[in-house]
């Protein structure tokens, strides 16, 4: 559900006009809707409410402090993949006992930070990582709560760069090797092995890969129990796809997903952990931009906008589709034109879309790229020395800049020219 729709011919974020945000904050900017975040969290929570579960929002999707604080107040936990994300989750008021530390390469310092905070679980992805965690836990006199992330070798049917559950991916431990990890862990006094974890990919648009992976993991859990190991938690990661429109397949609803998970896990007697990211954040944000120039090239019409691939890299990196709409609703008789929508960066890859039919536009017109709330701002860079763009959170008829645009002076301050240059 989106809270971005037109009122009296002007696109709004809840009850705030995007034209007003553009005038007061400037473009490009990310604009988020608090109501959408809240609704998505609640829909997901309801879908899994019949299970004993923890929802650990995947911070990597959108890690703004205002967003994390909003989700913390709704009761969310956090799935973090770095010391930075851990610090963000704690600063936003997410209690440590709801924090899961995922990731294939946690450093010693990150393990120490997680142990000192008292997080709920480390998802480990290799034997050397488990050994290192044991050493650090013993060193500071703690016992690390751990789940083993398995690699179920299932094809999630998603873009290759966001598929994570096949044997050739770097993630997880082969199911056949997990028994040995549990055997070794019995002899590690700094480790309390409590569960199984997995995450098979992102933007998954059908339930079959989830069903296959859960079934495999359930078999493993039963096998481990027969060997005398206690399994208390089962973390199935994130990955539920969302609609980006543009004719893509309609992903399963959270309810269908929740029902499937419950059916396949109800006899296991485990606490379920979910790590949704995109499902919570994706449709809670838009990228607001302005048309700089309309250029009629030899073969194409280019809409050159002030946002670029450094602000939203998904189209360049994953050929991702984002719906594009003018902020001012077009007249009924508006001419439709085929545009390539591009940014100002000096690379042909700085293209948001090609051959998109849009109402005729002019320099100065505002547009939005929808479904930019997840993996938008968090993946931005300052390439071409374009400062990170502001993030704005709307709630009802009010808005706030929740991350401001740094000035060039702020950026230059972080760099240093040694006197021997
Ligand atoms: N848990 C783990 C261990 C993950 O690696 C991820 C995402 C999630 C949970 C959340 O998955 P979600 O529910 O959001 O699908 N930048 C890419 C997506 C990368 C996803 C990486 N891992 C994109 O823009 O499509």
**What digits encode the pLDDT tens for the residues 46-83?**
999 999 999 999 999 999 999 999 999 999 999 999 99
Give the confidence band of 203 by pLDDT, cuts at 50, 70, 90: very high
CA distances from 153 to 171, 174, 180, 228 (A): 10, 8, 18, 25
Per-residue pLDDT, averaged over 378-404, amounts to 98
Of all protein residues, whose CA lies closest to atom 24 belonging to ligand 1? 375
Q: Rounding to the nearest 10 degrees, give the CA dihedral for residues 147, 140, 69, 62.
A: -60
Per-residue pLDDT, averaged over 287-316, amounts to 96
For a ligand 1 pocket test, name from 48, 275, 313, 380 the mutation site with the most ligand atoms within 8 angstroms of its C-beta: 275
Per-residue pLDDT, averaged over 368-392, amounts to 98
| Rounded Cα distance, 148 and 126, in Å | 8
Place of tokens 């945000």: 21
Per the structure block, which two tokens stand in for 293?
A: 């120039």
How far, in Å, is the centroid of ligand 1 from the Cα of 59? 9
**Ligand 1 site, residue 57, Cβ cutoff 6 A:** no
Structural domains of the chain sorted by starting position, each given as residue range(s) with its CATH number in brackets: 4-32+282-412 (2.40.37.10), 34-279 (3.20.20.10)
**Ligand 1 site, residue 58, Cβ cutoff 6 A:** yes
**Ligand 1 site, residue 277, Cβ cutoff 6 A:** yes
Task: Using the atom order of ligand 1, give the atom closest to the CA of residue 203.
Answer: 15
Q: Rounding to the nearest 10 degrees, give the CA dihedral for residues 178, 179, 180, 184.
A: 100
- Phi then psi dihedrals of residue 242, to 5 deg: -130, 170
Per-residue pLDDT, averaged over 21-32, amounts to 98
**Ligand 1 site, residue 172, Cβ cutoff 6 A:** no
Alpha-helical (H) ranges within 144-295 are 175-185, 208-226, 254-265, 278-281
b (16+ CB within 10 A) / e for 172-185? bbebeebeebbeeb
Task: Using the atom order of ligand 1, give the atom closest to the CA of residue 202.
Answer: 15
Give the confidence band of 247 by pLDDT, cuts at 50, 70, 90: low
| Helix (H) or strand (E) segment spanning residue 193 | strand 191-197
The predicted structure's pLDDT at residue 246 = 65
Of all protein residues, whose CA lies closest to atom 5 belonging to ligand 1? 199
The predicted structure's pLDDT at residue 79 = 98
**Ligand 1 site, residue 203, Cβ cutoff 6 A:** yes
The predicted structure's pLDDT at residue 78 = 98
Per DSSP (E only), the strands in 102-177 are 121-124, 144-151, 173-174
Residues whose CB falls within 8 Å of the CB of residue 166, separated by 6 or more in sequence, listed in order: 151, 153, 154, 155
How far, in Å, is the centroid of ligand 1 from the Cα of 277? 6
Q: Is the pLDDT of residue 163 over 80?
A: no
Residues whose CB falls within 8 Å of the CB of residue 235, separated by 6 or more in sequence, listed in order: 56, 100, 121, 123, 147, 149, 195, 196, 197, 198, 272, 273, 274, 275
Q: Is the pLDDT of residue 154 over 80?
A: yes
Give the confidence band of 196 by pLDDT, cuts at 50, 70, 90: very high
Task: Using the atom order of ligand 1, give the atom closest to the CA of residue 238.
Answer: 13
Q: Is the pLDDT of residue 386 over 70?
A: yes
Reported pTM: 0.97
Least-confidence region, from 145-149, 161-165, 241-245, 295-299: 161-165
**Ligand 1 site, residue 162, Cβ cutoff 6 A:** yes
- Phi then psi dihedrals of residue 173, to 5 deg: -115, 135
Instruction: Identify the three-state secondary structure at position 333.
Output: coil
For a ligand 1 pocket test, name from 85, 104, 239, 322 the mutation site with the most ligand atoms within 8 angstroms of its C-beta: 239
**Ligand 1 site, residue 121, Cβ cutoff 6 A:** no
Give the confidence band of 160 by pLDDT, cuts at 50, 70, 90: confident
Q: What number of other Cβ atoms are within 10 A of residue 346's Cβ?
A: 9
Antiparallel, parallel or unpaired: β 144-151 and 191-197: parallel
Handedness of CA 281, 251, 160, 264 (dihedral sign): positive
Q: Is the pLDDT of residue 165 over 80?
A: no
The predicted structure's pLDDT at residue 70 = 98
Catalytic residue IDs: 346
Per-residue pLDDT, averaged over 7-12, amounts to 95
**What digits encode the pLDDT tens for the residues 327-359?**
999 999 999 999 999 999 999 999 999 999 999
**Ligand 1 site, residue 371, Cβ cutoff 6 A:** no
| Rounded Cα distance, 27 and 154, in Å | 42
Give the confidence band of 297 by pLDDT, cuts at 50, 70, 90: confident
Mean pLDDT of the chain: 96
Per-residue pLDDT, averaged over 400-420, amounts to 97
For a ligand 1 pocket test, name from 56, 58, 204, 378 the mutation site with the most ligand atoms within 8 angstroms of its C-beta: 58
Cβ atoms of 234 and 272 within 8 Å: the answer is yes
């Amino acid at each position: 559900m989106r809270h971005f729709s037109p009122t009296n011919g002007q696109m709004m974020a809840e009850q705030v006009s995007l034209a007003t945000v553009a005038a007061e904050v400037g473009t490009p900017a990310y604009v988020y809707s608090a109501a959408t975040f809240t609704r998505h969290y609640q829909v997901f929570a309801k879908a899994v409410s019949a299970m004993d579960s923890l929802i650990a929002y995947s911070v990597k999707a959108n890690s703004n402090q205002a967003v994390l604080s909003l989700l913390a107040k709704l009761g969310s936990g956090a799935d973090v993949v770095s010391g930075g994300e851990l610090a963000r989750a704690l600063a936003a008021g997410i209690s440590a006992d709801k924090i899961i530390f995922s990731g294939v390469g946690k450093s010693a310092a990150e393990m120490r930070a997680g142990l000192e905070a008292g997080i709920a679980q480390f998802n480990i992805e290799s034997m050397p990582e488990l050994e290192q965690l044991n050493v650090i836990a013993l060193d500071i006199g703690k016992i690390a709560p751990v789940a083993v992330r398995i690699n179920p070798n299932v094809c999630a049917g998603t873009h290759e760069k966001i598929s994570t559950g096949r044997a050739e991916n770097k993630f997880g431990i082969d199911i056949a090797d997990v028994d040995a990890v549990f055997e070794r862990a019995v002899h590690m006094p700094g480790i309390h092995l409590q569960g199984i974890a997995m995450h098979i990919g992102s933007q998954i648009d059908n339930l079959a890969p989830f069903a296959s992976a859960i079934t495999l993991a359930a078999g493993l859990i039963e096998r481990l129990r027969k060997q005398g190991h206690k399994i208390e938690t089962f973390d199935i990661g994130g990955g539920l796809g969302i609609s980006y429109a543009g004719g893509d397949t309609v992903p399963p609803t959270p309810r269908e997903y929740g029902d499937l998970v419950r059916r396949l896990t109800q006899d296991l007697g485990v606490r379920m952990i979910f790590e949704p990211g995109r499902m919570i954040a994706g449709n809670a944000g838009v990228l607001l931009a302005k048309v700089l120039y309309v250029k009629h090239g030899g073969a194409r019409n280019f809409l050159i906008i002030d946002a670029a691939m450094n602000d939203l890299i998904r189209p360049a990196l994953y050929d991702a589709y984002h719906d594009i709409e003018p902020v001012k609703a077009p007249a009924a008789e508006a001419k439709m034109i085929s545009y390539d929508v591009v940014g100002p960066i000096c690379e042909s890859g700085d293209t948001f879309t090609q051959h998109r039919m849009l109402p005729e536009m002019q320099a100065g017109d505002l547009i939005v790229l929808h479904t930019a709330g997840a993996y938008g701002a968090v993946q931005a860079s300052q390439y071409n020395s374009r400062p990170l763009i502001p993030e704005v959170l709307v709630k009802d008829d009010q808005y706030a800049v929740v991350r401001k645009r740094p000035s060039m002076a702020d950026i230059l301050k972080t760099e240093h020219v040694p006197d021997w240059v």
